[in-house]
Amino acid sequence: MGLPFLDRLGLLVQREVGRLLGPIWIPVGGAVLRWRYGWRILDTSAARREFRRLRRESSAPLLVCANHLTMVDSFLIAIALASPWWYVLNFAALPWNTPERDNFSRTWWLRIATWVMKCIPVERGGDRREIGRVFERFSWVLSRGDVGLIFPEGGRSRSGRVDADASTYGVGRVVKALPGCRVLCVYLRGEGQTTWTAAPARGERFRVLFASLEPKTEHGGMRGSLAITRQVLTRLAALETEWFDARQ
Amino acid sequence: MREAEVFETVVKILTPHAKNQAALAGVKMDTNILDDLKVNSARLVDVVLAFEDAFDIEIADEEVDSVNTVGDCVRLVLAKAS
């Protein structure tokens, strides 16, 4: 992959700093979610088992794709897939993600925190070349064995439900750039969550569903990227139906 | 394929997605698709797929990164179609 040297160096430094500080920030982050906000993810054992199996069975790139309702989803999904201390010992498994730059650049400490926490910020709707560079950097860290997390809808679900027809292509672009890339679809939703918000309600209890797939397409170019993204979104929409059916 | 023909088809494809009708009325090669025509970036995929169908070409994700203006589209299509 033709990522410029300085970009590669920057990502390696970012990853190493995050890893060295991991024994502090990862457990603290987990504790804040649990004790400060009272958020609990129920029945994580199956999802965690599947995540460990996928990590163990192959060194092919692994991309986590999830529904998106709040700005803290990436933290919650990470915790749904493994315990904080497991991530300290398996730092490569802690997913990189691409948060909206505007949401996490308001203060200097937030910028530092997101940098340490394996984030590659993206300006949605911004300069196409810059967005393309974010995808290249994101794909590069996955090609080296780290896990990545993307929200295929490209933003929080404005209807509160997965938009399986969203015209986005980011997931497909990453999958196509990484031969053999596997996708773990994760559907996480709080029992009281009815729509998208900045953060879940205090004390929210979440339930998680998951499905693995290796999306494929015979199309090339952007049509192929869109087809792959649609496969992932369709699977997420099916998980959503399953999630609501189980609540009835 | 002539540049004028491609330009005309490109504009026709962009028309339903353009929110700034005034800019669309005076569209030129250097008109910016997102900033001037106010095409929603989320609709870019639909636009690119329409180009692929209209000109029977395949456009790679990376090629879309360098498309900002109507002229960029025209040049990309001409390069692909030749």
Count how many pairs of residues, chain A against chain B, have C-beta atoms within 8 Å: 53
Q: Does A132 touch chain B (CB under 8 A)?
A: yes
3-state SS class at A92: helix
Give the residue from A123, A136, A167, A173 with the most B CB atoms within 10 Å of its CB, the best one to mutate.
A167
Say if the Cβ atoms of B65 and A132 lie within 8 Å.
yes
Say if the Cβ atoms of A132 and B43 lie within 8 Å.
no
Q: Which residues does chain A have within 8 Å of residue B49's beta carbon, measured at their own beta carbons? A: 222-223, 226
Q: Which residues does chain A have within 8 Å of residue B51's beta carbon, measured at their own beta carbons? A: none
For the whole model, what pTM was predicted?
A: 0.91
Write down the ipTM of this complex: 0.82
Q: Residues 53-72, chain B: which have Cβ within 8 Å of A? A: 58-62, 64-68
Q: Which of A129, A168, A221 shows the shortest C-beta gap to B58?
A: A221
Say if the Cβ atoms of A226 and B42 lie within 8 Å.
no
Whole-angstrom distance, CA of residue A243 vs CA of residue B72 = 45
Structure confidence at residue A1 (pLDDT): 55
Burial group, residue A46, by CB count within 10 angstroms (0-12, 13-18, 19+): exposed
Place of tokens 């780290």: A146
pLDDT along chain A (248 residues), means of 10: 90 98 97 96 95 95 97 96 97 96 87 95 85 95 97 90 87 94 97 93 97 93 93 97 93
**Nearest C-alpha of chain A: how many angstroms from B44?**
8
* pLDDT tens-digit readout, B52-79: 999 999 999 999 888 999 999 999 999 9
* pLDDT tens-digit readout, B1-54: 789 999 999 999 999 999 999 999 999 999 999 899 999 887 888 999 999 999
Instruction: Write out the DSSP string of A168-206.
Output: --HHHHHHHHSTT-EEEEEEEEETT--S--SSPPTT-EE
Contact A119, A10 (CB under 8 A): no
Q: A128: nearest CA in chain B? A: B65
Tally of CB atoms within 10 A around A145: 13
Say if the Cβ atoms of B61 and A222 lie within 8 Å.
yes
Tokens representing residue A202 in the block: 């205090």
Give the residue from A128, A178, A219 with the most B CB atoms within 10 Å of its CB, the best one to mutate.
A128
**Nearest C-alpha of chain A: how many angstroms from B25?**
24
Q: B53: nearest CA in chain A? A: A223
